[in-house]
Chain A
């Protein structure tokens, strides 16, 4: 496959970036999107040019490091798929592909396509954990949890913290991510002691980091590679309002 890429190049967080056009030639349809970029970068290095910076780690769709808005879609055109798991067969020969970073005030560009997502870490640190010592592994079924609840909590816990929800949202809102992190504990017995403190602390931290406010367009749900549901956001609202107005 031969492709034309329009790639966002930006030196650092303070400079203004611009699009630069590259040719990606003799690309195998079986390559992943990131492997295609590797090939382009090898070419750039050979020409003694600065390679395109992009984030990645596991390349298995589990770590949440890869990003990229590809032709206007976070993680590209394939649903429920991270960029690292997206293959070039999802594109056509001679396609032009526009590649941009996640764009949000709270995710400043580090370089080119790599953005700083540490705002998510700070939200997690504000309350996205259980602070009691958990000890050794308990016996199976020692704590009875109905299957439906366990499944629901598990689904919320599959959020990989990639930030595509923020990238997709017209308000750059982080509510899908935060609600998933609040939900995974709100439903389980281990999460109960700090349930309302957690909801309050994480929401307040999210606001402090400058993410936008949800207007319920549900773009996040459509673009999330892990198909996290917006019902999590409804749950977060409930948890937060209970924390603020009922539990005091």
Chain B
């Protein structure tokens, strides 16, 4: 079980958090302008990388805030956590 450093609360057990899938996928501003394929790209396509991945997490049983995490999915090492809207601190 990971220890996650919530940017608002500090280090807490993984059981307080919920994973929310890949980060930095922006909801299109004008969905009606998109073709089926373009909309499907936004709606369904996710990377699921073995290695360093950018993810959304929610401190659901804590401050309820969403934030981003950089995690190596091959060994579960968390490289960084950062607030929504912030630039990722690592590549």
Is the A/B pair a real complex? no
